[in-house]
Structure 1
Amino acid sequence: MTVAGVFVLFINDHLLKQAWPGAVTGKLSDVAGLVVAPALVALLFWRRADLAATALTGVLFTLVKTTETGAELASHVWTLVAGPSRVLADPTDLLALPALALAWWVRRRSLESDSARWRVLVTMPLAVFAVTATSAAPMPIADSVDVDGDSVVVHLQDGRAQTSGDGGITWSQDAGSRDWSRRPQSAACVPMQATRCYRVVPERMAVEQSDDGGRTWGPSWTPTGDDRERLTRRYPSWNRGHKMALAVQARPGGHVVVVANGLDGILVRDVSGEWRRVGWPGSPELSEVDLSPERNVAIFLAVCMLLGGAASGLRRFNRAYLGSAALTSLSVLAVLTSWSEAWLPSLLNLAGMLTAMAGTVACLVLAVAGQARPTPAAVGVLAAPLVYLTVYTPFYGWSEGVPGPYWVAVALAVLLTGLAVLGGAVLIRYDARRAYLDGSSTSRPT
C-alpha cells in the first residue's frame, strides 16, 4: 500500500498537476503524501514507533499548513533538498489529515512481514523524489509607481499596492486603488529641479540619470554581475520583457527615487544618493535562486562517496560491485540533469529512478556478500552527507549574498570538499593498513 501511495503521489504531483491543476489534484497530493510520510518518518526512530511517527507527521503538517513560519521553514528545507520550492500555508489542506489513520493501519499491517523494512528502504528514494513537488506561488510584479502627496505608492500587477510615507524607508501593503488608464512612467525629473532627471532601462535592468534636463544620460544604478546572475536564476524570464517604472519625490534634505522593479519588487534611491533593493517588504522571498547545477554535483559526489566507501573495503566481488556502483551513480546523475515537467521526460526519469534503485539494491547485496569491512562502509555513510554539505553550502550562501562573488563560493566548495574527501581517504587507508597488519600477524610459517 505504501508503494502504491508513492506511485500515486509521483504521478499526481509530477504529471497530473501539470495537466489539470486545481483543488482535486492539490488535495490528492496531500492525501497521498500523508499516507507515505509516516513510513519515512518512522525510519528516524531506532525502534518501531508507528504511532509516534504518525503523530509527528500530523503535527508538522498542521504547523506547515496553518502558519506562515512553518510554511517558510518547509520551503527552505525543500529548497535545500530538492531545489527551488515553495510550500504554501493553506488551512483547507487539513481536510486531508484523516489519511493518517489509513497510514497507521497500513504501517501496522505491513510491518508484520519480515521484508517490510526492506520495502520501505527500497521505495524511499522514489518517495523522497515524489514528495518534493510543491505548489508554485504566483509571482507578483511591481509595474508602476505614483507619488500621492507625502506617500509613494508602488502598484502590483495583481491590483495590490505597497505604500510608503517616509520616502521608502518603511512599507505597508494594502488592496490598492490604481488608475488603470494611466500608463507607468519610465522617466521623471526632481520637482523644482528640472535639470536632474531619471529614467529606467528595462532591457538592462538599469536606471540612468541626467544633470542637464535629459539631453545626456549616464548610469545611476545597475546590478552587479553576481546580482544579475542571481536574478536570472531566481526569475529565468526576468530579462525578457522586464517591466520597470519610477517616480521621484522631493524629501527634506533632497529627493528619493522609487522604482517599480518588476519581479524584483521595489528599488529605492534615498536622499543621500544610495541605492538599495527593497524587494518585497513584509513578505518572505517569493522565489529561490535556482541552484540545480550545484546541487546535482553535490548529490552525485555524495553518492560516489557513499558507494566508494564500501568499495574500498570489499574482500570479494569487486568488479561486480564497481559495475553496479557506476550504474547507480550514472543513473542518479542522468535523472538529476535531465529532469523536466513534460510527460515523456518524466516517464524517462521514472525509468532512471528505477534503474538507480535497482543498482542501489545490487550494491547492498554485493557489499554484504563481498564481506565489506565495516569501517570503510561507515566512513562512506558518514562522509556522503558531509560531502553534499561542503559542495552545496557555499553556493547556498552565495544565493543569499554571502559570499558575494561566485568564484569565492567555487573556491570554498573545492577546498571544503577536498578536506572532507581527504579525511575519509585517510581513515580508510588507516583501516586498510590495520587490516593488513592483523592479517599478517595471524599467519605463521609452517
Structure 2
Amino acid sequence: MLVLLVNDHLLKQAHPGLVTGKLSDVAGLVVAPALLALLLWRRADLVATVLTGALFTAVKTTETGAELASQAWTFVAGPSRVLADPTDLLALPALALAWWVRRRTLHHPASARWRIIVTTPLALIAVTATGAVMPPPSAEAVEVDGAGRVTVHTDTSMDWVSQDGGRTWTERTGEDTRRPAQSAQCVPGQATRCYRLAATRMAVEQSDDAGVTWRPSWEPSAGELKRLTRQYDSSGVRATSLAVQAQGGGHVVVVASGMAGITVRDASGTWRHAGWPGATSAEVDTGPERNVAIFLAACMLFAGAGAGLRQYTVAYTGSALTACLGLLLLLSDDNSLPYSYYAPGMPFSTLGLLMILAGVVGSIVLGWAGRPRPVPAAIGVLASPLVYGAVHLPFTGWAKGTPDSYGVAFAFAVLLTGLVVLASAAAIRNDARRADPDHHAGP
C-alpha cells in the first residue's frame, strides 16, 4: 500500500514511464484482492483474487472494459481515463504475492479493528488515479500564401502570421480558409532540397536528392524535449505540419509544434524554437520533484528526532508515519484535480491535513516523553533542508538548461541526497555509541 501511495502520487508525476507504470499495476494487484474481499462474504479470499485477475484482464484487453473502468474511476476520484494495454498483463503474477501474503496472515491473530479502519481508507486513496487539466492552444497547420505570408493555424480562433520569414509574428483572428496540414514540402524553385516531419518523433528530416535519401535536419535534445513536455503536455508537444518559403537567396522552414508553438529554420540554416511569439514562455514544471524533496525532507526530520529516543520508539514511529503519509496526500492533491468537486467524501487535502496534525502532535508528545538525545534531533533539523536542496536544486538547474540532461540532474539528486543521508546516519550512530555505557565499558 505504501509503494502504491508513493509511486502513484509522487513518482509517477516525477518520472512517468514504463517502470512507474508497471510498478503501479503490480502494487495495485497486491492491494486490490484484500479490498475486494471486504465486500464479499467471510473467507472469500480465493474469489476476490480470481475476480481481481478477471476484471484486470478485461480492462486491459478490451475497449469496453477500459471505458467502464474509466466511468467507475471518474465517479470515485473525478475525471479519469483508463486505457486498454495488454502489456500490463505482465503484472498478473502479483496476484500470487497477494495470495501468499493472505495465507501467511492466517497463522497470525486477526487484525485489530483500528488497523482495518486506518488502512482501508488509505488503500482506497492509494488506488485512485489523478486527472488532467485542460490543454493550452496548439499550433496545428502552416501555410504560405501567394503574398508571401506564413500563417500558423491553431486549434483556437486565433492564428499567427509572419511577413518576414518567421522573424516576427502578428496575432489575428483565424479564418476558415486553411488548407490541410502538410507534413512534407520541397523548396520552391529548388526541387532537390526537401523537408519532411519525422514519422515517430518530434523532428524534421531533409533530403538533398529530391526525396531519395533523408537525414536529420532538426530535433530537440532529450533534455529540451522533456522540458517542453513539462511546460505544456507530453501528448501535445509534437510536430504537426511544416511549410517552406524561399527568401533572400535561401529559404526558411516553419514547423507547427503543437502546444509548444512554432519552430523556425531561418535563411542561414539555424533552427530555433520560437514558442508562442510575444508571450512569456511557460515555466518548466518541477512540482513533482519539489514534492518529492519536501516529502523526503520531512521524513529526514522525523527520522532524526526518532533516532535519539530512549522510550516510545514504536509509538513515535507510527505517529511520524501518519504525518508523512498525510503530507504525501497533501502534496498529491496539489498536482491533481480538486476531488471534492467531482466525488463525494473528504478531499485528499483535508484528510492529509488531519493526518499531518494528528501525526505531528503525537510525534511531539511522544518525542518529549521519550527522553530524546539532543544530537540526533539537531542532526535531523539540519539535514532536513539539506535533503530538500539536494533533491530539488539539480532539477531547478535542469529546468533552466543546466544540465541539459534530465538523467544527469536525477543522478546528481540521488548522489547528493545519498551523501546527506549517509553523513547524517554516521553522525547519529557515532552519538549513539558515545551514549551507550556498554560500548565504553568494554569486555
Q: TM-score with structure 1 length normalisation?
A: 0.58
Question: Is structure 2 residue 421 aligned with structure 1 residue 421?
Answer: yes
| In 1: Cα distance, 2:424 partner to 2:343 partner | 40
- Could you tell me which residue of structure 1 aligns to residue 240 of structure 2? 244
Structure 1's 140 and 204: CA in aligned 2 closer, same or farther, altered over 3 A? same
- Could you tell me which residue of structure 2 aligns to residue 388 of structure 1? 388
- Could you tell me which residue of structure 2 aligns to residue 367 of structure 1? 367
Instruction: Report the identity percentage.
Output: 51
Is the contact between residue 291 and residue 396 of structure 1 (CA under 8 Å) also seen in structure 2? no
- Could you tell me which residue of structure 2 aligns to residue 321 of structure 1? 316
The correspondence for 1:225, drawn from 222, 244, 261, is: 222
- Could you tell me which residue of structure 1 aligns to residue 204 of structure 2? 207
- Cα offset, 1:175, TM superposition: 2.4
1:426-445 correspondence to structure 2 within 5 Å:
428=428
Question: Is structure 2 residue 346 aligned with structure 1 residue 347?
Answer: yes
- Could you tell me which residue of structure 2 aligns to residue 306 of structure 1? 301
- Cα offset, 1:390, TM superposition: 0.9
RMSD: 3.5
- Could you tell me which residue of structure 2 aligns to residue 297 of structure 1? 292
Q: Deviations over 1:388-432 (max 9, x none)?
A: 121122123323332122221122112221333344445545665
- Could you tell me which residue of structure 2 aligns to residue 398 of structure 1? 398
- Could you tell me which residue of structure 1 aligns to residue 182 of structure 2? 185
Structure 1's 164 and 383: CA in aligned 2 closer, same or farther, altered over 3 A? farther
Structure 1's 233 and 345: CA in aligned 2 closer, same or farther, altered over 3 A? farther
Is the contact between residue 300 and residue 329 of structure 1 (CA under 8 Å) also seen in structure 2? yes
Q: In structure 1, give the amino acid aligned to 2:368.
A: V
Q: Deviations over 1:81-135 (max 9, x none)?
A: xxxxxxxxxxxxxxxxxxxxxxxxxxxxxxxxxxxxxxxxxxxxxxxxxxxxxx9
The correspondence for 1:159, drawn from 154, 157, 160, is: 157
1:250-269 correspondence to structure 2 within 5 Å:
250-269=246-265
- Cα offset, 1:136, TM superposition: 6.7
Q: TM-score with structure 2 length normalisation?
A: 0.58
How many residues align? The count is: 302
Unaligned runs of 5+ in 1: 1-134, 441-446
Structure 1's 198 and 332: CA in aligned 2 closer, same or farther, altered over 3 A? same
| In 1: Cα distance, 2:207 partner to 2:361 partner | 67
- Cα offset, 1:308, TM superposition: 1.2
Q: Deviations over 1:252-281 (max 9, x none)?
A: 242111111111111112233332222223
| In 1: Cα distance, 2:249 partner to 2:385 partner | 54
- Could you tell me which residue of structure 2 aligns to residue 115 of structure 1? none
Q: Deviations over 1:142-162 (max 9, x none)?
A: 122233545533333323333
Is the contact between residue 184 and residue 245 of structure 1 (CA under 8 Å) also seen in structure 2? yes
Structure 1's 231 and 304: CA in aligned 2 closer, same or farther, altered over 3 A? same
Is the contact between residue 193 and residue 206 of structure 2 (CA under 8 Å) also seen in structure 1? yes
- Cα offset, 1:190, TM superposition: 1.0
Q: In structure 2, give the amino acid aligned to 1:258.
A: V
- Could you tell me which residue of structure 1 aligns to residue 412 of structure 2? 412
Unaligned runs of 5+ in 2: 1-131
- Cα offset, 1:319, TM superposition: 2.3
| In 1: Cα distance, 2:357 partner to 2:233 partner | 32
| In 2: Cα distance, 1:257 partner to 1:227 partner | 20
| In 1: Cα distance, 2:316 partner to 2:230 partner | 38
| In 1: Cα distance, 2:171 partner to 2:190 partner | 32
Structure 1's 334 and 151: CA in aligned 2 closer, same or farther, altered over 3 A? same
| In 1: Cα distance, 2:264 partner to 2:345 partner | 43
Secondary structure in 1 aligned to 2:216?
A: strand
